[in-house]
Structure 1
């Protein structure tokens, strides 16, 4: 499956989760529910993947973690906020750069 096809599955699963749970829960609750929904589709999904920073050929664990990494092609960063902050977008762009992925969903 290509990134765009995977992203459609992710968006549909996210709508399922939101329709069933509604607003107001912790980010981790939505993360677990979305993980479940995506696993039901047969996709390979990793949760809370540590993402080291490579600096001068040295691996540094700076605390970066990908919420959900689907098929190692699409990064999903969950946020339970009323409005996205530019910092949220920057975080996702950084994760894309560090993984050489091309598609992320916020």
Structure 2
């Protein structure tokens, strides 16, 4: 079992690591998200997928995945693929391809 002193040492060291990695992220909000994801990986979260880590960190989506419209799914896919350049042609093409693949996936699951 980890004691209070151990937890404080871990927290201090973790902040030092985050400080060293901060320059890799161009925006502060992305640094915070990275920090939250790492903390989630180290936390007793039941699952370790991106949805569960985001929920644990308090980054809840406005819409549940099951309730997303196709347009929202396309945008999410484009943002996932393109990051800050999600409005670029390549990322948008990925979003359209993702959207086209949804029908194929639905047919395969029937």
TM-score after normalising by structure 2: 0.30
TM-score after normalising by structure 1: 0.31
Q: Which has the higher helix share?
A: 2
Does 1 or 2 have the higher relative contact order (CA < 8 Å, sep 6+)?
1
Larger Rg computed on CA atoms: 2
Q: Which has the higher strand share?
A: 1
